[in-house]
Amino acid sequence: MAGFTKHAHLGLAAAVLGLAAGPVAAQALNLYSSRHYDTDYALYQNFTAENGATVNLIEAGSDALIERVVAEGANSPADVLITVDAGRLWRADEAGLFQPVQSAVLEERIPAHLRHPDGHWFGFSKRARVIVYNLANGAPEGLTTYEGLADPAYAGQLCIRSSTNIYNLSLMASLIHHHGEEVAQAWAEGVVANFARPPQGNDTAQIRAVAAGECDLALVNTYYVGRLRASDDADDRAVGESIGIVFPNQEDRGTHVNISGAGLLTTAPNAEAGLAFLEYLASDGAQRLFAEGNNEYAVVAGIEVDSPITAFGEFKEDTLDPTVLGELQAAALQVYDRAGWR
């Protein structure tokens, strides 16, 4: 892969990073990413082709990368950090890792609710957190909101992952924001009472459980359904095609969305290349790759894509300030703990 170097393990790459700064065409971009999708490599190759900056990549979990940048301090070779969920971006920003970016390109193309209000980070792809059901059983009658999942009518029907999962933390943060902590806890208690099994597995595991009849309903991110429907494995495709989707809260605030986002690090040695990379991620071509390569939604309006998720149709999304998802993260976990959601 010309112009792209992957350093697969977090602990092996420090010595090869930190190339000298200069014009973008002469720079390297040192990228720390918690996205582990092979299709992202096309993003990096295309950036090099368009801008001339070689991409040096380190992949690891979000928390490990944040801790590493903190430990590296002023000597960090990293220019850009990419991670998943506004809650994690908030964590990185609270640690002082991101510098404010002023970019007419980013401000014009990325909606305000999908970026930090002062330009510390920007969302570049999104996934909706939706209710899924088995098409063979039909759509759950009357279930149109997240709040409805706590209705005793769905006792013993719900599969979901653990409360510590960042997607569930961000969803709870949004519920606390919209309803207050007392109402949010009552909701969590009602959902726990409706569990078909103790929380376990990732979103794909919840989808498989619905397809297998282990539970009737699950709460998952849309791209997991899209990934199954696009799989080369016939059994996976059958699972994905057996699943129906409800976009919650279409009559009021809209469906909760998670994002993948990135920011320019405060100590970036190649800041010019870093900014060019962020602006590239908002380009039509990069947005199409996010959508078609990993079945995510583009954040830029009007991008035409060929992806299984287009079959889900349009939906209204919640446009709350994304920093709220981080600020209320600790409160969200406390609510889950009090409700007995593990």
Question: Residues 128-152: pLDDT tens digits?
Answer: 999 999 999 999 999 999 999 999 9
Q: 173-214 pLDDT, tens per residue? A: 999 999 999 999 999 999 999 999 999 999 999 999 999 999
How far is C-alpha 257 from the chain's CA centre? 8
Confidence of residue 42 (pLDDT cuts 50, 70, 90): very high
**Rounded-to-integer distance, Cα 114 and Cα 299, Å:** 8
Structural domains in the chain, CATH included, are 4-126+258-310 (3.40.190.10), 127-256+315-339 (3.40.190.10)
Listed in sequence order, the residues at least 6 apart from 122 whose beta carbon sits closer than 8 Å to its beta carbon are 101, 106, 110, 114, 115, 116, 261, 262, 263, 278, 281, 282
pLDDT reading at 308 higher than 80: yes
Residue 26 scores a pLDDT above 90: no
Q: Distance between CA 308 and CA 120 in Å, rounded? A: 32
Query: For residues 289 and 305, what is the distance between their CA atoms, to the nearest angstrom?
Result: 9
**% helix / strand / coil in the chain, to the nearest 5?**
45, 20, 35
Q: How far apart are CA 299 and CA 290, in angstroms?
A: 10
The reported pLDDT for the residue numbered 4 is 56
What 3 state SS string does 117-134 have?
CCCCCEEEEEEEEEEEEE
Scored b (16 or more CB within 10 A) or e, 307-327 reads: bbbeebeebebbebebbbbbb
Quick one: average pLDDT of 263-292?
96
State the number of CA atoms in the 13 A half-sphere of 266 facing the CB: 14
In this predicted structure, the answer to whether residue 27 has a pLDDT above a threshold of 80 is no
Tell me what the pLDDT averaged over the chain comes to.
Answer: 91
CA distance 335 to 172: 8
Q: What's the pLDDT tens digit per position in 77-134?
A: 999 999 988 989 999 999 999 999 999 999 999 999 999 999 999 999 999 999 999 9
Rg (CA), the chain: 20
pLDDT for residue 1 is more than 70: no
pLDDT (mean) for 266-271:
96
Question: Does residue 69 surpass a pLDDT of 90?
Answer: yes
Per-residue model confidence (pLDDT) at position 271:
96
Q: Which of 109, 219, 230, 96 is nearest to 163 (CA)?
A: 219
> What distance in Å separates the CA atoms of residue 201 and residue 264, rounded to the nearest whole number?
33
Confidence category of residue 3, pLDDT binned at 50, 70, 90: low
Q: Are 230 and 307 in contact (CB under 8 A)?
A: yes
Q: For 208-267, how does the pLDDT look when each residue is reduced to its tens digit (9 = 90+)?
A: 999 999 999 999 999 999 999 999 999 999 999 999 999 999 999 999 998 999 999 999
pLDDT for residue 38: 80
For the chain, give the longest Cα–Cα distance: 63
Which helix H or strand E contains 44, and what residues bound it? Answer: helix 40-51
Q: How confident is the model at residue 5 (pLDDT cuts 50, 70, 90)?
A: low
pLDDT at 39: 81
